[in-house]
Every structure is written in structure tokens, then in C-alpha cells.
Amino acid sequence: MEKRAFGNTDIQVTPVGLGTWAIGGWMWGGTDEAQSIDTIHRAIDKGIGLVDTAPVYGFGRSEEIVGKALADGRRDQVALATKVALNWNDDHDKVWRDASASRIEQEVDDSLRRLQTDRIDIYQVHWPDPETPMEETARALEKLYRAGKIRAIGVSNFTPAQMDELQKTVPLHSLQPPYNLFERDIEQEVLPYCRENGIATITYGALCRGLLTGKMREDTQFTGDDLRKNDPKFQGERYRQYLNAVAELDRFARERYQKNVLALALRWLVDQPGVTTALWGARRPEQLDPVGEIDGWSLDKEAMTAIDEILARCIDDPVGPEFMAPPSR
């Protein structure tokens, strides 16, 4: 897989990265460690050069699994990204934002231990914390950057104004926003801001919690702690609208490119100006088999317009990923 420069850093990444939220198990119905390690190995074998995780993904479980998967000599084959600034209680039933200096200092060492590494390539503030002064957060990140514990400073789910505020104190190298065919709010201000300021992007939610795999049906059941039980996209008439859009997108992809909707969704992301890496979430090795389907073709302006027309025709009640935002305290 081709390599891309990661903003204005010396880090190299690939257009597709592996997202490991589901591997952590929390809000995805549990995890299988051996299967998850095999998935990470499969991703690297297929040329994926970025692995993204976070402490809150399984309350340390995802980071532990990633660390075990990379401990056999594969660490230097990937850019390793994780996050900071979420906190939780002992029962794991409450999560809140906490970007205080003390939280960052504690979390970075916990993450380094779980990941079995001496440095984190891309360290991202998971959500903006309105209860902590931005300068305090920035100074804590700057300290880690100068100490060599992290190689790049990133944020996730930040607005341009929040990124401006952080950059008053410390350089900012990357942003991780939600972005996919169905969730496109960042096109208005966020993506242009990142392009203009040389900020790399790692987009998450490429397949929109599975909607864009083409495997969802009206009678698909979501059980246990599956977050899609609370996702408005998967409810009632709105769910039917999104399923209809998926079906039309799949027909378009097959007729025009002899590809399926999953390949179309990934190719669309990779072709967007300003997108550095698109995260592909997987928890089983076979889910990565279609990676090669995005190589060797691209979407021209005519195809982009046709896709927009399908979305406008099928979805008259769109909704974003706002339901995932954790409380400030």
C-alpha cells in the first residue's frame, strides 16, 4: 500500500489504517484476544501501516491486545496512534471527558505499558474538555512531546476554533474526525481548515458502524451493549432510508466499477481532498479481505456527483454521529 506523509511530521502512514474500537469489546459485544491479534497481523500483512486505538476501547483491553500483537517484532512496521483525556468509573458504566494535566500524565504511562512500547507515534486528545483550560491540556502534551514519549500531537472531534485555541500553546499535527458517505459535516469547515493549515486527518467511522458493508438488513438484531441499539441511524423509518441508500450505492458500484458498496465507501473516502488516512474497523481477519478492492481505481467528478444524487434521493431525514459524544463530567 502506498505511503503518505503525515502532515508536517516525518511519520509515514497508509491511506487505510486499522481501527480497533471493536477489538476492545466494549459496546461491541465482547472480544476474542487470539482472533483480534490475528486481525492486527492480517492488517499489517496486507500493507496497512497505521493502527489506531484508545484507552477507553475496552478500558485498556484494546491497547493491551494491540501491544501483544506488535510485540513479536511488528512494532516498527506501523505508525501507532492512541488517545487520551477520557475517564471512567470502576464499574465502567460512566465515561466522561478529562483533559487535565494529571489525567494526561497518568494515561500516557498506562498506554505505553499496555502497548509495550517506548513511544506513541500519534497521541490524540479524544474529545475536547470544556472543564479544563486548553492551555493546561496543551502544556501537558508539549511536555510529552519534548520528552520523546509522543512523536505527534493530535486531537479528535475538535472544531476549528478549538484547534486554534490549542495551537496558541503547542503545534498541532493531526485531527481525527468522523467521516463517511453518510456523515459529512466536516466538509463545511473542518476539512478545509486542516488542508489550509497542514494538519493531517485520520478519519473514523468509514463504514458507518457497519451500514456501508452492505450486510445490514431490516431484521438485523443488535444485542447486549452494542452501541447501534442507541444509534438513531438504526431506528425505524430512518434505518430503512439508509438501507435503501446502501442498496442503490451497491448497484451503482457494481454497474460502474464491478465493485461492491464497501469498496465504494472506502474508495470515496481515500479520494477526498484532505483525508490522510481512513480507519477501517475490523475484529476478524476475514473482514480485511476486501482491502485490495480499493486499489487501482478512483472516483471521478461525475461519479462523485452521482453518489451525492443517490444520497439526496434516498435519505430525507439524515442524522450525524452526535449520539456518541460523552458528557463533559
3-state secondary structure of 121: coil
Examine residue 128 and state whether it is found in any structural domain, yes or no.
Answer: yes
Q: What is the pLDDT of residues 252-309, one digit of tens each?
A: 999 999 999 999 999 999 999 999 999 998 888 998 988 889 989 999 999 999 999 9
- Residue 29 pLDDT grade (very low, low, confident, very high; cuts 50, 70, 90): low
CA distances, 199 to each of 76, 96, 161, 176, 258 (Å)? 23, 26, 14, 10, 34
Indicate the average pLDDT of the chain: 93
Examine residue 167 and state whether it is found in any structural domain, yes or no.
Answer: yes
> What is the distance between the alpha carbons of residues 53 and 145, in angstroms, rounded to a whole number?
19
pLDDT exceeds 80 at position 128: yes
> What is the distance between the alpha carbons of residues 158 and 146, in angstroms, rounded to a whole number?
23
Q: Average pLDDT of 40-48?
A: 95
Q: What is the pTM of this model?
A: 0.93
- Residue 91 pLDDT grade (very low, low, confident, very high; cuts 50, 70, 90): confident
Examine residue 250 and state whether it is found in any structural domain, yes or no.
Answer: no
Percent of the chain with pLDDT over 70: 98
What pLDDT does residue 225 have?
A: 77
Higher-confidence residue of 124 and 292: namely 124
- Residue 26 pLDDT grade (very low, low, confident, very high; cuts 50, 70, 90): low
Q: What is the pLDDT of residues 202-249, one digit of tens each?
A: 999 999 999 999 999 999 988 887 888 889 999 999 999 999 999 999
Percent of the chain with pLDDT over 90: 80
Examine residue 227 and state whether it is found in any structural domain, yes or no.
Answer: no
How many domains are there within the chain? 1
User: Which residues are CB-contacts of 228 (< 8 A; sequence separation ≥ 6)?
Assistant: 209, 210, 222, 234
Q: Is the dihedral of CA 237, 239, 223, 111 positive or negative?
A: negative
Region of poorest pLDDT, from 54-63, 69-78, 180-189: 54-63
Enclosing domain of residue 203: 4-211+272-292
- Residue 31 sits in a domain whose CATH number is 3.20.20.100
- Residue 27 pLDDT grade (very low, low, confident, very high; cuts 50, 70, 90): low
Examine residue 58 and state whether it is found in any structural domain, yes or no.
Answer: yes
What pLDDT does residue 28 have?
A: 52
What pLDDT does residue 30 have?
A: 62
Residues β-bridged to residue 95: 88
Q: What is the pLDDT of residues 152-189, one digit of tens each?
A: 999 999 999 999 999 999 999 999 999 999 999 999 99
Tell me whether residue 193 is one of the annotated catalytic residues. no
Examine residue 322 and state whether it is found in any structural domain, yes or no.
Answer: no
Specify the DSSP class assigned to residue 82.
E
Cell 458502524 locates to 209
Q: What is the pLDDT of residues 92-111, one digit of tens each?
A: 789 999 999 999 999 999 99
Whose CA is closest to 168, among 135, 196, 194?
Answer: 135
Examine residue 328 and state whether it is found in any structural domain, yes or no.
Answer: no
> What is the distance between the alpha carbons of residues 326 and 89, in angstroms, rounded to a whole number?
13
Examine residue 307 and state whether it is found in any structural domain, yes or no.
Answer: no
Cα 132 → chain centroid: 24
Set 57, 123, 179, 242: catalytic member: 57
Report whether 4 contacts 276 (CB < 8 A).
yes
